[in-house]
Structure 1
Amino acid sequence: MSTFLQRCARVALAASLLASAGLAHAAYPERPVTLVVTFPPGGTVDVVARLIGPKLAAELGQPVVIENRGGAGGMIGGAMVARAKPDGYTLMLDASNHAQNPAIQPRMQFDTLKDFAPVSLLLRAPNILVVTPSSEIRTVEDLVRLGKDDKNPVYFASSGPGSAQHLGGELFNLLAKTQLQHVAYKGGGPAMIDVMSGQVPVMFASMGSSWQHVKNGKLRAVATGGSQRSPVAPEMATIAESGVPGFESYEWNAVFAPTGTPAEIVDQVSQALAKVLKDPGIAQQLAAIGAEPVGSTPADLDTFRRAEIAKWQKVVKEAGLKLD
């Protein structure tokens, strides 16, 4: 074969391979997709996964298998996904710990920014300042005043050291110049039970897990932690507008893929999730747990998570927080 014909054959082969690759990506997915949830069954993150899973499956045309890999504040599931093949068949549903762990965890099994490709910010739910119904704390101003009393410390509960509730309380301390004392529990459930019973008076709780208790009178909501009032409770002021400017604390859920997943697959999943979150039924069910649907682009999620990581790193540094 002449040199000219050899070159033509190589060009044809390369074109064929490129076409095949394009067809492979265009055909995605050809089998079930696994959505790894970084928290155990029954919690808010799991509820969200099982809410969107069937709708996402319908958009993709393949089953979406929910696999719970909870533990270590989301790091067990994260380590699994970081090592997964970047082909679009393993995705991760993570929460705000995605940005908080790099700020406070001394030993990480992965690099949050380098090992995960952003897909979509699904939702945000503001943390909400709740107190025991019998508490004398009825306003943010009350908490600020009482929180500056050295002789009678005010305690706040959280689901554990380094959790969103813990860091929310520390952010409050920094901005309001209070000295609220942290009480860590092994999970949000036990913490909330003790706040309802009056063992600990205050919690910067997840709206998703606390809102039902507020509605049935077992907790009293004082203010929400978002930058704006929540559509779920528009009559309730934010902590920022109640005397602690700059306070902003959300719990959020987002989907990520292993770094190296083809951009066209990431975009396809992101667009499918955006459609799912526009479903009126999904929006209504998310509102019931105090969450606002988002459905962002991959680029917007990347900007959001980088800002969140930087924010919590600053809080941890200024508060002098350390985990053993």
Structure 2
Amino acid sequence: MTLLRRQFLQLTVGASLTPILSTVASAEAYPARPVRVIVPYAPGGPADILGRLTAQKLSEHLGKQFYIENIGGAGGNLGMAQGARAAPDGYTVLVVPPNIIVNPAMYDTVPYDPYRDFEPVTIAVTSPTVLTVHPSLAVQTVKDLVALIKSNPAKYSFASPGTGTPPHLIGEHFRLRLGLDLVHVPFNSAGLAVGSTLAGHTPIAFTSLPPAVPQIKEAKLRALAVTSKLRSSAIPDVPSMGEVGYPEIEGEGWFAFIVPTGTPKDVTTQLHREIVKIIALPDIKETLATLGFAPVGNTPDEAAALFRTEGVKWAKVIREAGIKAP
């Protein structure tokens, strides 16, 4: 082979490999600097806890710091607005509950569009809602409770962690679908809602699992059903609504990781892969279970589809119940 031909081949092969090598180098370069993880709520809540657990592992796995920035206020709208305005470069990630798709139906205006401004990475976990009652109520099943409420109009109320939260919306769905005269009493957290039911002030409660489980196990509250499709491993003796004859009363909280629209596809793919790997780790799964979370880790397309179906479902409940943001 002549020297000229050898040089030509080297140049040709080198040129053909350059785009491939550049792509690989680009993918390997992420993250090249710290990544902000916005939690649109105050520290200490479930979104914050999940965000911190995941951010710590992402930092370990990817070699750059993933740090939490809590931006609370307006039911999550302030933090989500900042996320929507962030550069779509992979250096802003958000951890959000269903409020991302519920708030537009509940507030007159919101400073973001959940479908145009964001792209889901994954629904990381779900958090079942549990229907509990004070032990003084002479009911053992959901059917008993429905009969009691119907025979005593305007007498009973239910507690929730707050207006627009998944437990509140599920409680309203329960009220509307079964035609019950039941008053909603919102609190600022699931813990406060559970406390009110423990004291007998609001004899019925729809709440997330974590603050209710210890009280259920100590028989201080009676759990009638969980509103997820399946029973919860945290309280395996408690049936689902479907099992007790009310399959239409279904819903649960969830927490998703999302990024601003336009974030590079390879970055979203990498984040998805790592987050799914993290929530499957034995120690993380154990921690999540104690918090009442069940790991999911679905695909971005599956998460996007859930956003839309949940948005339609809960907007209908919000309209029918006349719910407005406080």
- Answer whether contact 1:122 1:254 (CA < 8 A) is retained: yes
- Answer whether contact 1:227 1:247 (CA < 8 A) is retained: no
Query: Between Structure 1 and Structure 2, whose CA radius of gyration is higher?
Result: 2
1:21-72 per-residue CA deviation (whole Å, 9 max, x = no partner) reads 7633431001111111122111122121222221122222211101111222
RMSD, aligned CA: 2.2
Paired amino acid for 2:115: L
Gaps spanning 5+ residues in structure 2: where?
Answer: 1-13
Q: 1:237 aligns with which of 236, 239, 242?
A: 239
1:76 — aligned with what? Answer: 78
- Answer whether contact 1:129 1:205 (CA < 8 A) is retained: yes
**What is the CA-CA distance between 1:135 and the residue it aligns to?**
2.9
Gaps spanning 5+ residues in structure 1: where?
Answer: 1-11
Structure 1 residues 82 and 55: CA distance shift in structure 2, 3 A: same
Q: 2:262 aligns with which of 240, 260, 263?
A: 260
- Answer whether contact 2:81 2:112 (CA < 8 A) is retained: yes
Paired amino acid for 2:280: K
Instruction: List structure 1 segments (4+ residues) > 6 angstroms apart after TM superposition.
Output: 15-19
**What is the CA-CA distance between 1:152 and the residue it aligns to?**
4.5
Paired amino acid for 2:82: M
Paired amino acid for 2:66: V
1:172 — aligned with what? Answer: 174
Count residues in correspondence. Answer: 312
1:141-187 per-residue CA deviation (whole Å, 9 max, x = no partner) reads 12211222354421011222222222111110122222211112233
Mean Cα deviation higher: 247-256 or 103-112: 103-112
How do 1:31-42 and structure 2 match up within 5 A? 31-42=33-44
Structure 1 residues 297 and 59: CA distance shift in structure 2, 3 A: farther
Paired amino acid for 1:35: V
The CA distance in 2 between the partners of 1:196 and 1:275, in whole Å, is 39
Paired amino acid for 2:215: H
Structure 1 residues 216 and 98: CA distance shift in structure 2, 3 A: farther
2:296 — aligned with what? Answer: 294
1:267-287 per-residue CA deviation (whole Å, 9 max, x = no partner) reads 110000011011011111111
TM-score by length of 1: 0.89
Q: 2:129 aligns with which of 108, 127, 130?
A: 127
Q: Secondary structure at the match of 2:53?
A: helix
The CA distance in 1 between the partners of 2:83 and 2:174, in whole Å, is 33
Q: Secondary structure at the match of 1:246?
A: coil
Alignment identity in percent?
Answer: 38
- Answer whether contact 1:175 1:245 (CA < 8 A) is retained: no
How do 1:1-324 and structure 2 match up within 5 A? 20=22, 23-149=25-151, 151-323=153-325
**What is the CA-CA distance between 1:196 and the residue it aligns to?**
1.5
Q: Secondary structure at the match of 2:130?
A: strand
1:239-275 per-residue CA deviation (whole Å, 9 max, x = no partner) reads 2321322111211111000111111101110000011
